[in-house]
Structure 1
Amino acid sequence: MPERAFLSPGWGHWFGTDQSGRDVFSRIVHGSRQSLSIGLFAITLSMSVAIPLGLLCGLIGGWLDRAVGWLLEILFAFPTLVLALLFVSIFGSGITPLIVATGLSISPGYTLLIRGQVLVVRNAGYIEAARALGHSPWRIIRRQVLPNAIRPIAVIITMGVGQAIVWASALSFLGLGAKPPASEWGTMLSLGRDFIANAWWLTFFPGLFIVLTTLSTTIVGRYLQYRLEKRLS
């Protein structure tokens, strides 16, 4: 309601109200589903591209590895946000294009990580032992290479969700993501920036939850990494 617009944080409205009189706390809670969904779908898309490419480059090598490496070098020449803007210009704006742009823009880095992990496992001593025992190449890949190369991906995915949320929020802040009146956190930041001098809570609380979510996924990822390393040691 207009008469309740720009109410500062208090007992009635913990995070205040926005320019339309809507409760900011309720919008952040409602928008958490949208922001987390964007992050999860974006990292899923990214991994669906990175895992096959990383495995193929690491296992096959040769011309395929050189070709993909050349493509990744070109993509790495662009900052992640610029690359995401390029994909947005191709696919358009909105939630679905936002997911596609975010997922594709962060996939090159994950492709290199997975490729490097495959190369480490492929040259490990237990792989040489399996070859010496006469195991077939397919059995070595299925029983030795793939499980050991993919195991750390759970850590990468966990931390990648927070990264995807940050990039998606950045695009929404620029007006290229979810459209108003969506309660996605980046869109809330974009709507509140014009009133930041008089209504600081419109940008502070959405930004705070973006930071806390990213920090939480990073902590969970680090914990999983610690448990994994402890288990393997």
Structure 2
Amino acid sequence: MSAAGVTGVGRWVSVEGLNGVGKTYLTGRLATRLGQSCRLVSELTDHGPEQLTGQVTAALARRAGTFLRTGHPVTEMFALLALKVYEYERLTADPRPPALVLEDRGPDTVAVYQAAIMTLGQPAAAAAEIVDRVLTTARTWRPLPTLTMLVVDDLDACIGRYSDRLGAPVNSADRELLVRVDTLYRELAISNPDRIRVVDRTGRPQGDVLAEMEAHCRTLLKKTGTQ
């Protein structure tokens, strides 16, 4: 089914960000603030083994290592995009779809991370070109989010939190990958100002950051007449 043939959800919002930026924590609390008007779609890697999404991401996860890397990045990219399409079609087929879907990582993350993985050691321009190609491919099967909120913070702070979560230091190769991911996210936001809003949490209280994110979502709900 093409993206043009899928309907049903009033507004689709994705939340993106570097590992360790606090994106999942903020997204969960934002969903609580939005209440019944919102349906939360968890990050792909947070789905359990009883679900198709969890089974696919488990197959893509290396036993020893970080991120979803099997050594076949193009295959991984199409598998991850397929899961993003599956989530979209599943929710839009619901006879009582939510007014707003809040997606923890959407097609932008697939594009940015897979581009970074595929082009490590190559010029940055090569990665940006792949981001564009992946998003163009994604749009064949599902629309991009109505709104993407890119949560950003100090790079070293993000890597520090990610290291704490891993329980081990981030190695030099993974740090290089995260630096490229951070750059690609920020460049994508600059080139898509109508769709992507940067939410900078650097040095800000969590409540202020959540209030900003909620305001973006409330504005979308008002546009659909659901609030």
Q: Do both share a fold (TM > 0.5)?
A: no
Q: Looking at both structures, which has the greater relative contact order when contacts are Cα pairs under 8 Å and sequence separation is at least 6?
A: 2
* Larger CA Rg, structure 1 vs 2: 1
Structure 2 length-normalised TM:
0.32
Between Structure 1 and Structure 2, the one with more strand by share is 2
Structure 1 length-normalised TM:
0.31
